Amino acid sequence: MARRWEIQTPDAAAAEALSREVGVSPMLGALLLARGVDTAEAARRFLSPSLKDLHDPGLMRGMEAAVERLVGALRRQEAVTVWGDYDVDGVTSTSLLKLFLQRIGLVCAYYIPSRMEEGYGLNAEGLRQIAASGTKLLVTVDCGSSDRDEIALARSMGLDVLVIDHHQVPEELPEALALLNPHQPGCGFPAKDLAAVGVAFNLIMALRTRLRQTGLFADCEEPNLREYLDLVALGTLADVVPLSDENRVVAQFGLRELAAGRRPGLAALKEVAGLRGGAVSAAQVVFRLAPRLNAIGRLGKADLAVELLTTSSYSRALALARELDQANSERQAIEQGIFEEALRLAQAELERGDQGGLVLAGEGWHVGVVGIVASRLVDRFGCPVAMIAMQGEEGRGSARGTDDVHLFEALQGCAEHLVAFGGHRAAAGLTVRRERLEAFRRAFLHIIEKQRSGAKGGRALRLDAEVPPGAWSVEAVGEMSALEPHGPGNPEPLFLGANLGVKSARVVGREPPYHLKLLLQAGERTFDAIGFRLGDRLPHVLERMDVAYRPEVNAWEGNLGVQLRLVDFRLPGGG
């Protein structure tokens, strides 16, 4: 399924006017307009975010009750346990709360369920362990909105429950003491697309304000919340939420904290990931740091990720980081094997007819890895993908979507065929019985087709403008960094290089997935281009092609130059 290119035609007059008012180049003005930034004030907030741009946490429904319960726990010195999820958003949320609650004087434990043995969300056995430990207050993060029965069980055990979540909510909400979730009915908080760690950060902002009012910090230093923004940025970027509004603010300031490397666990993680010193980009978080934190949870020991993020010992952090790095290497090998098998299944499915999505199931697939593979297949085929790891009479899986579908709503429409499901618009998890697998496949694909009706077919690859590679200078490429950090809602700029000659093409890389290395010619000049994970497309390279690319600055032997990062290519003119 070839990706359909959509090439924008910037409004040159509007871009010129905005660029003059803001003091940037017309190209940057056009890119701002394409991202919905159309006034000088909006451009100021976008290009120079301020922590003053964060919203009032008190606007979030349930905030007052959550804060008062935590103040009561502090006053009575009650034990608190944080129940987190095993992904990066979950472990950063858990770490954030543990560190802050301990900082203000609470005894705080944490519980991360095993992905393999317990699965997502609350469960009865884990709740029994927590109740038996003497905990009076349970705080769930990145889960809980759909755990109505489990929260009722927790209450019967004498636990008060605060839910901090960002997933779509069911019609019947759990009867928690407080539910913090911007998606719940009646919540007036303006930023609806926070990661769970963003919701947790709003809680500690509100809690600090309340404790200041009580005089708690009169005789001690007040916590500086900037110090926690590295965790907030890490969870926000890893969970692939839209990088607009409040998410953009915490991501940008959090990346600065990450660069400073003051947290031992993240300094050690940067070291094993090969990020020694200097700035840390959103892409490095997503592709270098987050996978190592995720890997340990995918292989069953996410509590080690929380220990890494909360330890004050660099030597212990380095030992943990190396263990996470080894787990990531194991995960990569498992992922590649599943990807190759799933790719064959996907190609066979698509050969039987162009469909709006893919539902793939495999025996022995690792349930902790299928979500990553689903994301890779979405990028490859441009359609929503559900990957299901079958074991015995039941399968557990993950679904990843495209901009034109709402996965949670799609799974709601398939509820009669599923044991359980949850998630949000772009990503979801599900459990299905073997005898219902085909019925689920038919229902899911039918709903996806209806959601995508009217679309032109294929996942759109949106290019910002046609710009010949020779138009870029090192300075012009550098100006584009003002748009960072990139992510959903603020994609990295992508350009069309039309009818370029191909001087040479080869595959590079020591092991799969291999990369495609091209030498492209535009006029009298040549440009190096690299297409990561595109090595299998070498047979499709032509003598002349249109390329979708991103310009980058490359340093070679002390000289700076422009190279191209290849995203896609096609026949000249789209033929």
CA distance 536 to 23: 43
CA distance 234 to 61: 25
Three-class SS state of 383: coil
Comparing CA positions, the residue from 315, 74, 117 lying closest to residue 207 is 74
CA distance 264 to 318: 8
**Count of beta carbons in the 10 Å neighbourhood of residue 168:** 21
**Average predicted confidence (pLDDT) for the chain:** 92
What does the pLDDT read at residue 354?
A: 57
What does the pLDDT read at residue 231?
A: 98
Two structure tokens written together for 226: 């900037």
What does the pLDDT read at residue 299?
A: 67
* Structural domains in the chain, sorted by start: 53-324 (3.90.1640.30), 354-451 (3.10.310.30), 464-575 (2.40.50.460)
Q: Between vectors from CA 270 to CA 267 and to CA 271, what angle results, nearest 5°?
A: 90
What does the pLDDT read at residue 380?
A: 85
8 Å CB contact between 549 and 570: no
Alpha helix (H) residue ranges in 10-87: 12-22, 26-34, 40-47, 63-76
What does the pLDDT read at residue 454?
A: 57
Residue 245: what residue type? D
CA distance 52 to 6: 36
Read off the pLDDT of residues 328-352 as tens digits, 9 standing for 90 and up: 888 888 999 999 999 999 988 888 7
What does the pLDDT read at residue 279?
A: 87
Q: What is the 3-state secondary structure (H, E, C) of 8-27?
A: CCCCHHHHHHHHHHHCCCHH
**How much is the pTM?**
0.84
Q: Which DSSP helix (H) or strand (E) runs through 568?
A: strand 559-570
DSSP 486: P
Alpha helix (H) residue ranges in 215-355: 229-238, 245-260, 264-272, 282-284, 290-298, 303-310, 314-351
Read off the pLDDT of residues 148-168 as tens digits, 9 standing for 90 and up: 999 999 999 999 999 999 998
Alpha carbon 213 to chain centroid, angstroms: 35
8 Å CB contact between 203 and 58: no
**Count of beta carbons in the 10 Å neighbourhood of residue 265:** 27
Residue 333: what residue type? A
Strand 427-433 and strand 420-423: the pairing is antiparallel
pLDDT by residue, tens only, the chain of 575 residues:
567 899 988 889 999 999 999 999 999 999 999 999 999 999 999 999 999 999 999 999 999 999 999 999 999 999 999 999 989 999 999 999 999 999 999 999 999 998 777 777 899 999 999 999 999 999 999 999 999 999 999 999 999 999 999 998 988 999 999 999 999 999 999 999 999 999 999 999 999 999 999 999 988 899 999 999 999 999 999 988 999 999 999 999 999 999 999 999 999 999 999 998 778 999 899 989 999 998 887 766 788 999 999 999 999 999 999 999 998 888 888 999 999 999 999 988 888 775 789 999 999 898 888 988 999 999 888 889 999 999 999 999 999 988 788 999 999 999 999 998 988 888 899 999 999 999 999 999 999 988 887 555 556 789 999 999 999 999 999 999 999 999 888 989 999 999 999 999 999 998 888 999 999 999 999 999 999 989 989 999 999 999 999 999 987 777 888 999 999 999 998 85
What does the pLDDT read at residue 259?
A: 94
